Amino acid sequence: MKNVLTVLVLLVTTITFAQNKNARASMEVDGVCGMCKERIEKASIKTKGVKSAIWDVKTHELQLIYNEKKTDLSSIKENILAVGHDVEDLRATDKAYNSLHDCCRYRDEAIIDDHKKDEDNGDGQN
- Backbone dihedral angles phi then psi of residue 79, each to the nearest 5 degrees: -70, -35
The strand order across the sheet containing 50-55 reads 22-28, 61-67, 50-55
Query: What gap in Å lies between CA 31 and CA 96, rounded to an integer?
Result: 13
Q: Confidence class of residue 12 from pLDDT cuts 50, 70 and 90?
A: low
Supply the pTM of this predicted model.
Answer: 0.78
Indicate the domain borders of the chain.
21-121
pLDDT in tens, 76-122: 999 999 999 999 999 999 999 999 999 999 999 988 888 877 666 65
Which three-class secondary structure string do you get for the chain?
Answer: CHHHHHHHHHHHHHHHHCCCCEEEEEEEECCCCHHHHHHHHHHHHCCCCEEEEEECCCCCEEEEEEECCCCCHHHHHHHHHHCCCCECCECCCHHHHHCCCHHHCCCCHHHHHHHHHHHHHCCCCC
Q: Are 50 and 23 in contact (CB under 8 A)?
A: no
Q: Are 97 and 104 in contact (CB under 8 A)?
A: no
Q: What is the CATH T-level fold of the domain 21-121, as seen in this structure?
A: Alpha-Beta Plaits (3.30.70)
pLDDT in tens, 46-63: 999 999 999 999 999 999
- pLDDT score for 126: 45
